[in-house]
Structure 1
Protein backbone atom coordinates (compact mmCIF):
# COMPACT_ATOMS: atom_id res chain seq x y z
CA UNK A 1 0.00 0.00 0.00
CA UNK A 2 2.90 2.37 0.68
CA UNK A 3 4.19 1.76 -2.84
CA UNK A 4 0.74 2.67 -4.19
CA UNK A 5 0.64 5.98 -2.31
CA UNK A 6 4.29 6.83 -3.06
CA UNK A 7 3.40 6.48 -6.76
CA UNK A 8 0.01 8.27 -6.58
CA UNK A 9 0.72 11.23 -4.32
CA UNK A 10 3.28 13.01 -6.57
CA UNK A 11 0.69 12.94 -9.38
CA UNK A 12 -1.76 14.76 -7.08
CA UNK A 13 0.91 17.03 -5.56
CA UNK A 14 3.61 17.58 -8.23
CA UNK A 15 5.91 19.40 -5.78
CA UNK A 16 6.03 16.41 -3.41
CA UNK A 17 9.23 14.34 -3.33
CA UNK A 18 9.58 10.91 -1.71
CA UNK A 19 12.40 8.50 -0.85
CA UNK A 20 10.79 5.60 -2.74
CA UNK A 21 12.80 3.95 -5.54
CA UNK A 22 11.28 0.53 -6.30
CA UNK A 23 9.74 -2.61 -4.82
CA UNK A 24 12.22 -4.70 -6.82
CA UNK A 25 14.96 -6.37 -4.83
CA UNK A 26 18.56 -5.35 -5.53
CA UNK A 27 20.28 -7.86 -7.83
CA UNK A 28 22.56 -9.08 -5.04
CA UNK A 29 19.51 -10.15 -3.02
CA UNK A 30 17.11 -11.16 -5.79
CA UNK A 31 19.11 -14.32 -6.58
CA UNK A 32 19.81 -15.30 -2.98
CA UNK A 33 17.95 -18.01 -0.98
CA UNK A 34 16.60 -15.25 1.28
CA UNK A 35 14.82 -13.44 -1.56
CA UNK A 36 11.32 -14.84 -0.75
CA UNK A 37 11.54 -13.34 2.75
CA UNK A 38 11.93 -9.83 1.35
CA UNK A 39 9.95 -9.94 -1.91
CA UNK A 40 6.84 -7.69 -1.68
CA UNK A 41 7.75 -6.96 1.94
CA UNK A 42 10.47 -4.36 1.41
CA UNK A 43 11.34 -1.29 -0.66
CA UNK A 44 14.49 0.19 -2.08
CA UNK A 45 14.66 3.81 -0.94
CA UNK A 46 17.10 6.71 -0.93
CA UNK A 47 19.13 7.09 2.28
CA UNK A 48 18.25 10.45 3.84
CA UNK A 49 18.49 12.23 7.19
CA UNK A 50 15.17 11.60 8.98
CA UNK A 51 13.67 14.38 11.11
CA UNK A 52 13.27 13.29 14.78
CA UNK A 53 9.51 14.00 14.91
CA UNK A 54 6.41 12.19 13.72
CA UNK A 55 3.99 14.32 11.73
CA UNK A 56 0.39 13.50 12.65
CA UNK A 57 -2.63 15.01 10.90
CA UNK A 58 -6.04 14.67 12.53
CA UNK A 59 -9.20 15.26 10.53
CA UNK A 60 -11.48 13.77 13.21
CA UNK A 61 -11.24 13.75 16.99
CA UNK A 62 -10.51 10.26 18.21
CA UNK A 63 -7.83 8.19 19.95
CA UNK A 64 -5.35 10.08 22.14
CA UNK A 65 -6.72 13.40 20.81
CA UNK A 66 -10.16 12.50 22.16
CA UNK A 67 -8.65 11.51 25.53
CA UNK A 68 -6.82 14.83 25.85
CA UNK A 69 -9.87 16.78 24.71
CA UNK A 70 -12.17 15.17 27.28
CA UNK A 71 -9.66 15.92 30.05
CA UNK A 72 -8.34 19.34 29.04
CA UNK A 73 -10.39 20.69 26.12
CA UNK A 74 -7.28 20.75 23.91
CA UNK A 75 -5.52 18.58 21.31
CA UNK A 76 -1.69 18.57 21.64
CA UNK A 77 -2.16 21.77 23.62
CA UNK A 78 -4.09 23.40 20.75
CA UNK A 79 -7.44 24.99 21.57
CA UNK A 80 -10.34 23.46 19.64
CA UNK A 81 -14.10 24.18 19.66
CA UNK A 82 -16.12 23.21 22.73
CA UNK A 83 -18.78 20.48 22.83
CA UNK A 84 -17.21 18.23 20.22
CA UNK A 85 -18.36 14.61 20.21
CA UNK A 86 -16.17 11.54 19.84
CA UNK A 87 -15.23 10.88 16.19
CA UNK A 88 -16.58 14.25 15.05
CA UNK A 89 -14.99 15.82 11.99
CA UNK A 90 -12.85 18.85 12.78
CA UNK A 91 -13.56 22.08 10.96
CA UNK A 92 -10.01 22.05 9.61
CA UNK A 93 -7.46 19.21 9.90
CA UNK A 94 -4.96 19.72 12.71
CA UNK A 95 -1.20 19.20 12.52
CA UNK A 96 -0.30 17.51 15.80
CA UNK A 97 3.31 16.30 15.91
CA UNK A 98 4.89 13.87 18.35
CA UNK A 99 8.40 12.90 19.33
CA UNK A 100 10.02 10.02 17.49
CA UNK A 101 10.99 7.74 20.35
CA UNK A 102 13.76 5.17 20.35
CA UNK A 103 12.70 1.58 19.65
CA UNK A 104 10.76 0.18 22.59
CA UNK A 105 9.93 3.65 23.94
CA UNK A 106 6.65 5.56 23.59
CA UNK A 107 6.21 8.60 21.36
CA UNK A 108 5.10 11.74 23.20
CA UNK A 109 2.49 14.14 21.83
CA UNK A 110 3.96 17.63 21.51
CA UNK A 111 2.77 21.06 20.40
CA UNK A 112 3.69 22.57 17.03
CA UNK A 113 5.82 25.07 18.94
CA UNK A 114 7.81 22.25 20.55
CA UNK A 115 8.28 20.60 17.14
CA UNK A 116 9.72 23.89 15.85
CA UNK A 117 12.20 23.88 18.75
CA UNK A 118 13.32 20.35 17.80
CA UNK A 119 13.73 20.71 14.02
CA UNK A 120 13.73 24.49 13.50
CA UNK A 121 10.82 26.74 12.58
CA UNK A 122 11.40 26.72 8.81
CA UNK A 123 11.49 22.93 8.60
CA UNK A 124 8.55 22.55 10.99
CA UNK A 125 6.50 24.91 8.81
CA UNK A 126 7.42 22.96 5.65
CA UNK A 127 6.59 19.62 7.31
CA UNK A 128 3.25 21.01 8.50
CA UNK A 129 2.29 22.34 5.05
CA UNK A 130 3.27 19.13 3.29
CA UNK A 131 1.48 16.98 5.87
CA UNK A 132 -1.78 18.90 5.52
CA UNK A 133 -1.55 18.87 1.71
CA UNK A 134 -0.92 15.11 1.63
CA UNK A 135 -3.72 14.42 4.11
CA UNK A 136 -6.24 16.54 2.20
CA UNK A 137 -5.37 14.89 -1.13
CA UNK A 138 -5.51 11.38 0.34
CA UNK A 139 -8.70 12.12 2.28
CA UNK A 140 -10.52 13.20 -0.88
CA UNK A 141 -9.23 10.21 -2.85
CA UNK A 142 -10.28 7.77 -0.10
CA UNK A 143 -13.70 9.39 0.33
CA UNK A 144 -14.54 8.51 -3.28
CA UNK A 145 -13.85 4.87 -2.34
CA UNK A 146 -15.97 4.75 0.81
CA UNK A 147 -13.19 5.27 3.35
CA UNK A 148 -12.75 8.07 5.89
CA UNK A 149 -9.14 8.78 6.82
CA UNK A 150 -9.67 9.97 10.38
CA UNK A 151 -6.01 10.62 11.09
CA UNK A 152 -2.61 9.52 9.87
CA UNK A 153 1.10 9.73 10.65
CA UNK A 154 3.83 10.83 8.22
CA UNK A 155 7.60 10.95 8.51
CA UNK A 156 9.92 13.27 6.63
CA UNK A 157 13.63 13.50 5.94
CA UNK A 158 16.07 16.09 4.66
CA UNK A 159 17.70 15.66 1.27
CA UNK A 160 20.99 17.49 1.71
CA UNK A 161 22.04 16.88 -1.90
CA UNK A 162 19.74 19.69 -3.15
CA UNK A 163 20.18 23.44 -2.82
CA UNK A 164 18.44 24.41 -0.66
CA UNK A 165 18.04 21.06 1.17
CA UNK A 166 14.58 19.64 0.47
CA UNK A 167 12.01 18.03 2.78
CA UNK A 168 11.08 14.55 1.52
CA UNK A 169 8.29 12.11 2.45
CA UNK A 170 9.72 8.83 3.81
CA UNK A 171 8.95 5.62 5.75
CA UNK A 172 5.53 4.03 5.18
CA UNK A 173 2.58 6.17 4.16
CA UNK A 174 -1.20 5.92 4.59
CA UNK A 175 -1.30 2.27 5.65
CA UNK A 176 -3.59 0.67 8.26
CA UNK A 177 -0.56 0.70 10.59
CA UNK A 178 -0.07 4.47 10.38
CA UNK A 179 -3.66 5.62 9.80
CA UNK A 180 -7.20 5.26 11.05
CA UNK A 181 -9.45 4.09 8.20
CA UNK A 182 -13.22 4.11 8.85
CA UNK A 183 -15.99 2.70 6.69
CA UNK A 184 -17.91 5.77 5.52
CA UNK A 185 -21.24 3.94 5.31
CA UNK A 186 -21.04 3.01 9.02
CA UNK A 187 -19.75 6.33 10.33
CA UNK A 188 -21.72 7.80 13.23
CA UNK A 189 -20.67 10.70 15.45
CA UNK A 190 -20.56 10.15 19.20
CA UNK A 191 -18.90 6.74 19.40
CA UNK A 192 -15.84 4.78 18.34
CA UNK A 193 -15.96 3.67 14.72
CA UNK A 194 -15.89 0.44 12.75
CA UNK A 195 -12.34 0.58 11.42
CA UNK A 196 -10.11 -1.04 8.79
CA UNK A 197 -6.84 -0.66 10.65
CA UNK A 198 -5.10 -1.88 13.81
CA UNK A 199 -7.80 -0.50 16.13
CA UNK A 200 -9.40 -3.94 16.46
CA UNK A 201 -6.10 -5.23 17.88
CA UNK A 202 -5.70 -2.15 20.11
CA UNK A 203 -9.21 -2.67 21.51
CA UNK A 204 -8.51 -6.36 22.21
CA UNK A 205 -5.27 -5.52 24.05
CA UNK A 206 -7.08 -2.91 26.16
CA UNK A 207 -10.03 -5.20 26.89
CA UNK A 208 -7.73 -8.04 27.96
CA UNK A 209 -5.48 -5.66 29.98
CA UNK A 210 -2.50 -6.65 27.82
CA UNK A 211 -1.60 -3.25 26.39
CA UNK A 212 2.13 -2.56 26.75
CA UNK A 213 2.96 -6.06 27.94
CA UNK A 214 5.71 -8.18 26.42
CA UNK A 215 5.31 -11.64 24.86
CA UNK A 216 1.59 -11.33 24.07
CA UNK A 217 0.16 -13.98 21.73
CA UNK A 218 -2.85 -13.00 19.66
CA UNK A 219 -5.70 -15.48 19.27
CA UNK A 220 -6.34 -16.57 15.69
CA UNK A 221 -9.66 -14.67 15.67
CA UNK A 222 -7.91 -11.37 16.45
CA UNK A 223 -5.30 -12.06 13.75
CA UNK A 224 -8.03 -12.87 11.21
CA UNK A 225 -10.27 -9.90 12.03
CA UNK A 226 -7.37 -7.44 11.96
CA UNK A 227 -6.06 -8.93 8.70
CA UNK A 228 -9.50 -8.79 7.08
CA UNK A 229 -9.68 -5.06 7.78
CA UNK A 230 -6.22 -4.50 6.29
CA UNK A 231 -7.18 -6.41 3.14
CA UNK A 232 -10.45 -4.52 2.71
CA UNK A 233 -8.67 -1.17 3.08
CA UNK A 234 -6.08 -2.25 0.50
CA UNK A 235 -8.66 -3.42 -2.02
CA UNK A 236 -10.83 -0.31 -1.69
CA UNK A 237 -7.94 2.15 -1.94
CA UNK A 238 -5.67 0.38 -4.43
CA UNK A 239 -8.50 -1.07 -6.50
CA UNK A 240 -6.91 -4.53 -6.82
CA UNK A 241 -7.65 -7.89 -5.24
CA UNK A 242 -5.31 -8.69 -2.36
CA UNK A 243 -4.88 -12.25 -3.64
CA UNK A 244 -3.62 -11.00 -7.00
CA UNK A 245 -0.82 -8.90 -5.48
Structure 2
Protein backbone atom coordinates (compact mmCIF):
# COMPACT_ATOMS: atom_id res chain seq x y z
CA UNK A 1 0.00 0.00 0.00
CA UNK A 2 1.31 3.43 -0.90
CA UNK A 3 1.80 6.02 1.82
CA UNK A 4 -0.76 8.60 0.77
CA UNK A 5 0.23 11.13 3.42
CA UNK A 6 -3.13 12.87 3.21
CA UNK A 7 -3.13 16.43 4.55
CA UNK A 8 -5.28 17.17 7.56
CA UNK A 9 -8.79 18.02 6.40
CA UNK A 10 -9.60 21.68 7.08
CA UNK A 11 -12.11 22.45 9.79
CA UNK A 12 -15.42 23.84 8.52
CA UNK A 13 -17.79 25.61 10.87
CA UNK A 14 -21.03 23.71 11.42
CA UNK A 15 -19.60 20.36 10.38
CA UNK A 16 -17.83 17.31 11.75
CA UNK A 17 -15.14 15.69 9.60
CA UNK A 18 -15.91 12.06 8.83
CA UNK A 19 -13.45 10.86 6.20
CA UNK A 20 -10.86 11.94 3.65
CA UNK A 21 -10.05 10.15 0.41
CA UNK A 22 -7.41 10.89 -2.18
CA UNK A 23 -9.13 14.01 -3.47
CA UNK A 24 -12.37 14.47 -1.49
CA UNK A 25 -13.27 15.19 2.12
CA UNK A 26 -16.54 14.14 3.74
CA UNK A 27 -18.23 15.95 6.62
CA UNK A 28 -21.50 15.71 8.52
CA UNK A 29 -23.50 18.92 8.84
CA UNK A 30 -24.15 19.55 12.52
CA UNK A 31 -26.54 22.49 12.25
CA UNK A 32 -28.74 24.47 9.90
CA UNK A 33 -31.49 23.29 7.53
CA UNK A 34 -29.45 20.29 6.36
CA UNK A 35 -28.37 19.03 9.77
CA UNK A 36 -27.45 15.36 9.61
CA UNK A 37 -26.82 15.43 5.88
CA UNK A 38 -23.38 14.93 4.38
CA UNK A 39 -21.12 17.62 2.92
CA UNK A 40 -18.92 16.25 0.14
CA UNK A 41 -15.99 18.55 -0.66
CA UNK A 42 -13.83 18.22 -3.78
CA UNK A 43 -10.30 19.41 -3.02
CA UNK A 44 -7.66 20.61 -5.45
CA UNK A 45 -5.50 17.59 -4.56
CA UNK A 46 -4.29 15.30 -7.30
CA UNK A 47 -3.14 11.69 -7.03
CA UNK A 48 -1.09 9.48 -9.32
CA UNK A 49 0.11 5.91 -8.87
CA UNK A 50 -1.65 5.80 -5.48
CA UNK A 51 0.25 8.81 -4.14
CA UNK A 52 -1.43 12.09 -3.24
CA UNK A 53 0.93 14.81 -4.41
CA UNK A 54 2.03 17.78 -2.34
CA UNK A 55 1.25 20.03 -5.31
CA UNK A 56 -2.38 20.96 -5.94
CA UNK A 57 -4.13 21.94 -9.20
CA UNK A 58 -5.89 25.32 -8.80
CA UNK A 59 -9.68 25.21 -9.38
CA UNK A 60 -9.70 21.42 -9.86
CA UNK A 61 -12.24 20.87 -7.08
CA UNK A 62 -14.63 23.44 -8.48
CA UNK A 63 -14.24 22.21 -12.05
CA UNK A 64 -15.03 18.62 -11.08
CA UNK A 65 -17.95 19.66 -8.87
CA UNK A 66 -19.48 21.74 -11.67
CA UNK A 67 -19.00 18.96 -14.20
CA UNK A 68 -20.51 16.34 -11.89
CA UNK A 69 -23.56 18.52 -11.26
CA UNK A 70 -23.97 19.12 -14.99
CA UNK A 71 -23.88 15.40 -15.74
CA UNK A 72 -26.33 14.67 -12.92
CA UNK A 73 -28.79 17.02 -14.64
CA UNK A 74 -28.32 15.22 -17.96
CA UNK A 75 -29.07 11.89 -16.27
CA UNK A 76 -31.94 12.97 -14.01
CA UNK A 77 -34.49 10.96 -16.00
CA UNK A 78 -32.34 7.82 -15.80
CA UNK A 79 -31.56 7.60 -12.08
CA UNK A 80 -31.95 9.84 -9.01
CA UNK A 81 -28.74 11.30 -7.60
CA UNK A 82 -27.59 12.06 -4.08
CA UNK A 83 -27.32 15.85 -4.36
CA UNK A 84 -29.64 17.70 -1.98
CA UNK A 85 -28.30 21.26 -2.26
CA UNK A 86 -25.41 23.39 -3.46
CA UNK A 87 -25.98 25.85 -0.60
CA UNK A 88 -22.75 25.09 1.26
CA UNK A 89 -20.46 26.90 3.73
CA UNK A 90 -18.57 29.84 2.22
CA UNK A 91 -15.21 28.15 2.84
CA UNK A 92 -16.03 25.46 0.25
CA UNK A 93 -18.52 27.28 -1.96
CA UNK A 94 -18.38 26.09 -5.56
CA UNK A 95 -16.59 22.85 -4.79
CA UNK A 96 -18.94 21.07 -2.42
CA UNK A 97 -22.46 19.67 -2.33
CA UNK A 98 -24.87 18.66 0.39
CA UNK A 99 -25.88 15.08 -0.24
CA UNK A 100 -28.02 12.26 1.08
CA UNK A 101 -26.82 9.58 3.43
CA UNK A 102 -26.98 6.29 1.55
CA UNK A 103 -26.14 2.66 2.19
CA UNK A 104 -23.36 2.46 -0.40
CA UNK A 105 -23.03 -0.70 -2.49
CA UNK A 106 -19.54 -2.22 -2.06
CA UNK A 107 -18.76 -2.27 -5.78
CA UNK A 108 -17.27 0.11 -8.34
CA UNK A 109 -19.59 0.01 -11.34
CA UNK A 110 -17.42 0.39 -14.44
CA UNK A 111 -18.61 0.60 -18.04
CA UNK A 112 -16.11 0.28 -20.88
CA UNK A 113 -16.72 1.11 -24.51
CA UNK A 114 -13.02 0.97 -25.41
CA UNK A 115 -10.16 -1.25 -24.36
CA UNK A 116 -7.44 0.40 -22.28
CA UNK A 117 -6.05 0.56 -18.75
CA UNK A 118 -6.62 -2.42 -16.46
CA UNK A 119 -9.10 -3.84 -18.95
CA UNK A 120 -6.37 -4.02 -21.57
CA UNK A 121 -4.04 -5.77 -19.14
CA UNK A 122 -6.72 -8.36 -18.34
CA UNK A 123 -7.44 -8.87 -22.03
CA UNK A 124 -3.78 -9.36 -22.93
CA UNK A 125 -3.45 -11.96 -20.18
CA UNK A 126 -6.67 -13.91 -20.78
CA UNK A 127 -8.60 -12.60 -23.78
CA UNK A 128 -11.32 -11.53 -21.33
CA UNK A 129 -12.22 -8.57 -19.12
CA UNK A 130 -13.99 -9.45 -15.88
CA UNK A 131 -14.90 -12.84 -17.33
CA UNK A 132 -16.33 -11.37 -20.55
CA UNK A 133 -14.67 -12.90 -23.64
CA UNK A 134 -13.62 -10.36 -26.26
CA UNK A 135 -12.63 -10.79 -29.92
CA UNK A 136 -9.02 -11.55 -30.77
CA UNK A 137 -6.75 -8.86 -32.18
CA UNK A 138 -7.86 -5.90 -30.07
CA UNK A 139 -5.24 -3.36 -29.01
CA UNK A 140 -4.88 -0.33 -26.80
CA UNK A 141 -7.72 2.06 -27.64
CA UNK A 142 -9.80 -0.41 -29.66
CA UNK A 143 -13.54 0.21 -29.65
CA UNK A 144 -15.40 -2.78 -28.23
CA UNK A 145 -18.21 -4.46 -30.19
CA UNK A 146 -20.56 -3.15 -27.49
CA UNK A 147 -20.05 -1.52 -24.08
CA UNK A 148 -19.42 -3.95 -21.24
CA UNK A 149 -19.99 -3.88 -17.48
CA UNK A 150 -16.71 -4.58 -15.70
CA UNK A 151 -17.16 -4.19 -11.93
CA UNK A 152 -14.39 -3.81 -9.40
CA UNK A 153 -14.11 -4.16 -5.66
CA UNK A 154 -13.63 -1.00 -3.64
CA UNK A 155 -10.06 -1.05 -2.36
CA UNK A 156 -8.78 0.39 0.89
CA UNK A 157 -7.21 3.83 0.59
CA UNK A 158 -3.86 3.44 -1.13
CA UNK A 159 -4.66 0.09 -2.73
CA UNK A 160 -5.80 -0.59 -6.28
CA UNK A 161 -9.41 -1.51 -7.01
CA UNK A 162 -9.56 -5.10 -8.26
CA UNK A 163 -11.58 -6.12 -11.30
CA UNK A 164 -14.09 -8.86 -10.51
CA UNK A 165 -16.63 -10.91 -12.43
CA UNK A 166 -20.33 -10.17 -12.62
CA UNK A 167 -20.92 -13.37 -10.65
CA UNK A 168 -18.97 -11.84 -7.78
CA UNK A 169 -21.41 -8.90 -7.73
CA UNK A 170 -24.34 -11.34 -7.72
CA UNK A 171 -22.78 -13.16 -4.77
CA UNK A 172 -22.31 -9.90 -2.90
CA UNK A 173 -25.58 -8.11 -3.65
CA UNK A 174 -27.97 -10.71 -5.03
CA UNK A 175 -29.10 -11.32 -8.59
CA UNK A 176 -31.78 -8.60 -8.72
CA UNK A 177 -29.58 -5.79 -7.41
CA UNK A 178 -26.61 -6.87 -9.53
CA UNK A 179 -28.78 -6.82 -12.67
CA UNK A 180 -30.09 -3.37 -11.74
CA UNK A 181 -26.59 -1.95 -11.29
CA UNK A 182 -25.37 -3.44 -14.56
CA UNK A 183 -28.35 -2.07 -16.48
CA UNK A 184 -28.04 1.40 -14.90
CA UNK A 185 -24.30 1.57 -15.48
CA UNK A 186 -24.61 0.68 -19.16
CA UNK A 187 -27.56 3.03 -19.68
CA UNK A 188 -25.65 5.92 -18.10
CA UNK A 189 -22.59 5.13 -20.17
CA UNK A 190 -24.64 5.02 -23.37
CA UNK A 191 -26.32 8.35 -22.63
CA UNK A 192 -23.06 10.04 -21.65
CA UNK A 193 -21.11 8.63 -24.59
CA UNK A 194 -23.71 9.97 -27.02
CA UNK A 195 -23.62 13.44 -25.41
CA UNK A 196 -19.81 13.52 -25.39
CA UNK A 197 -19.57 12.30 -28.98
CA UNK A 198 -21.74 15.22 -30.13
CA UNK A 199 -19.05 17.46 -28.65
CA UNK A 200 -16.15 15.70 -30.34
CA UNK A 201 -15.15 13.67 -27.30
CA UNK A 202 -15.00 9.90 -26.78
CA UNK A 203 -16.00 8.48 -23.41
CA UNK A 204 -13.73 5.44 -23.26
CA UNK A 205 -14.88 4.24 -19.85
CA UNK A 206 -16.34 5.49 -16.59
CA UNK A 207 -16.57 4.44 -12.96
CA UNK A 208 -19.81 4.99 -11.07
CA UNK A 209 -20.93 4.44 -7.50
CA UNK A 210 -24.43 3.78 -6.24
CA UNK A 211 -26.13 3.52 -2.88
CA UNK A 212 -29.57 2.71 -1.50
CA UNK A 213 -32.05 4.93 0.31
CA UNK A 214 -33.90 3.55 3.28
CA UNK A 215 -36.75 2.45 1.00
CA UNK A 216 -34.34 0.52 -1.22
CA UNK A 217 -34.27 3.03 -4.10
CA UNK A 218 -30.94 2.97 -5.91
CA UNK A 219 -29.30 6.38 -6.14
CA UNK A 220 -26.29 7.61 -8.13
CA UNK A 221 -23.67 8.91 -5.70
CA UNK A 222 -20.17 10.33 -5.48
CA UNK A 223 -18.73 12.18 -8.48
CA UNK A 224 -20.26 11.58 -11.89
CA UNK A 225 -18.44 11.45 -15.23
CA UNK A 226 -15.51 13.70 -14.36
CA UNK A 227 -11.99 13.33 -15.77
CA UNK A 228 -11.01 11.80 -12.41
CA UNK A 229 -13.53 8.97 -12.76
CA UNK A 230 -13.68 8.62 -16.55
CA UNK A 231 -11.43 8.53 -19.58
CA UNK A 232 -12.32 11.24 -22.10
CA UNK A 233 -10.41 11.30 -25.40
CA UNK A 234 -10.47 13.87 -28.23
CA UNK A 235 -12.36 12.02 -30.97
CA UNK A 236 -10.35 13.62 -33.77
CA UNK A 237 -7.12 12.19 -32.35
CA UNK A 238 -8.37 8.67 -31.61
CA UNK A 239 -6.01 6.08 -33.04
CA UNK A 240 -6.06 2.48 -31.76
CA UNK A 241 -2.72 0.85 -31.12
CA UNK A 242 -1.28 3.55 -28.88
CA UNK A 243 -2.06 5.47 -25.73
CA UNK A 244 -4.68 8.13 -26.49
CA UNK A 245 -4.43 11.82 -25.59
CA UNK A 246 -6.68 12.23 -22.57
CA UNK A 247 -8.59 14.94 -20.69
CA UNK A 248 -7.24 13.99 -17.30
CA UNK A 249 -4.08 13.88 -15.20
CA UNK A 250 -2.04 12.03 -17.83
CA UNK A 251 0.17 15.12 -18.14
CA UNK A 252 1.14 14.66 -14.49
CA UNK A 253 1.73 10.92 -14.89
CA UNK A 254 3.90 11.48 -17.95
CA UNK A 255 6.01 14.09 -16.17
CA UNK A 256 6.47 11.91 -13.09
CA UNK A 257 7.70 9.02 -15.25
CA UNK A 258 10.04 11.22 -17.30
CA UNK A 259 13.74 11.65 -16.61
CA UNK A 260 13.00 15.33 -15.94
CA UNK A 261 11.23 14.50 -12.67
CA UNK A 262 14.09 12.41 -11.32
CA UNK A 263 11.56 10.09 -9.67
CA UNK A 264 12.00 6.34 -9.47
CA UNK A 265 8.56 4.73 -9.31
CA UNK A 266 10.07 1.58 -7.79
CA UNK A 267 11.59 3.52 -4.90
CA UNK A 268 8.42 3.62 -2.82
CA UNK A 269 8.93 7.35 -2.37
CA UNK A 270 6.30 9.88 -3.37
CA UNK A 271 6.81 11.84 -6.60
CA UNK A 272 8.42 15.28 -6.21
CA UNK A 273 6.46 18.55 -6.37
CA UNK A 274 5.15 19.45 -9.81
CA UNK A 275 6.75 22.28 -11.82
CA UNK A 276 4.49 25.30 -12.40
CA UNK A 277 4.22 24.59 -16.14
CA UNK A 278 2.91 21.05 -15.47
CA UNK A 279 0.38 22.46 -13.01
CA UNK A 280 -0.86 25.02 -15.53
CA UNK A 281 -1.07 22.53 -18.42
CA UNK A 282 -3.02 20.13 -16.21
CA UNK A 283 -5.43 22.85 -15.08
CA UNK A 284 -5.92 23.91 -18.70
CA UNK A 285 -6.78 20.33 -19.65
CA UNK A 286 -9.47 20.11 -16.97
CA UNK A 287 -10.86 23.49 -18.05
CA UNK A 288 -10.95 22.36 -21.69
CA UNK A 289 -12.81 19.17 -20.79
CA UNK A 290 -15.36 21.12 -18.75
CA UNK A 291 -15.96 23.75 -21.40
CA UNK A 292 -16.17 21.34 -24.35
CA UNK A 293 -18.57 18.99 -22.58
CA UNK A 294 -20.88 21.50 -20.92
CA UNK A 295 -20.65 24.36 -23.43
CA UNK A 296 -20.14 26.69 -20.49
CA UNK A 297 -17.20 29.02 -19.85
CA UNK A 298 -15.30 28.48 -16.62
Please give the range of the TM-score, normalised by the shorter of the 2 chains. 0.7 to 0.9
Q: CA deviation at 1:80?
A: 0.6
Q: CA deviation at 1:106?
A: 2.0
Q: CA deviation at 1:97?
A: 0.6
Q: How many equivalent residue pairs?
A: 227
CA distance in 1 between partners of 2:156 and 2:243 (Å)? 30
2:232 matches 1:181:
yes
The equivalent residue for 2:130 is 76
Question: Equivalent residue of 2:211, what SS?
Answer: strand
CA distance in 1 between partners of 2:169 and 2:199 (Å)? 33
Q: Is the 8 A contact 1:53 1:98 kept in 2?
A: yes
2:288 matches 1:237:
no
User: Which runs of 5 or more residues in structure 1 are unaligned?
Assistant: 30-34
Q: Is the 8 A contact 1:3 1:23 kept in 2?
A: no
TM norm structure 1: 0.87
The equivalent residue for 2:50 is none
Return structure 1 stretches of 4+ with deviation > 4 angstroms.
none
Judged with a 3 Å threshold, the aligned counterparts in structure 2 of structure 1 residues 209 and 60 are, in CA distance, closer, same or farther, namely: farther
TM norm structure 2: 0.72
User: Which runs of 5 or more residues in structure 2 are unaligned?
Assistant: 1-66
CA distance in 1 between partners of 2:269 and 2:191 (Å)? 37
Judged with a 3 Å threshold, the aligned counterparts in structure 2 of structure 1 residues 235 and 87 are, in CA distance, closer, same or farther, namely: same
More helix by share: 1
Alignment of 1:83-94 (within 5 A): 83-94=137-148
Q: CA deviation at 1:7?
A: 1.4
Q: Is the 8 A contact 1:210 1:216 kept in 2?
A: no
The two structures, once aligned, show a CA RMSD in angstroms of: 1.7
Alignment of 1:39-58 (within 5 A): 39-58=93-112
- 1:146-178 Cα distance to aligned partner (Å, 9 max, x none): 110000100000112x3xx11110000000000
The equivalent residue for 2:207 is 153
Judged with a 3 Å threshold, the aligned counterparts in structure 2 of structure 1 residues 115 and 140 are, in CA distance, closer, same or farther, namely: same
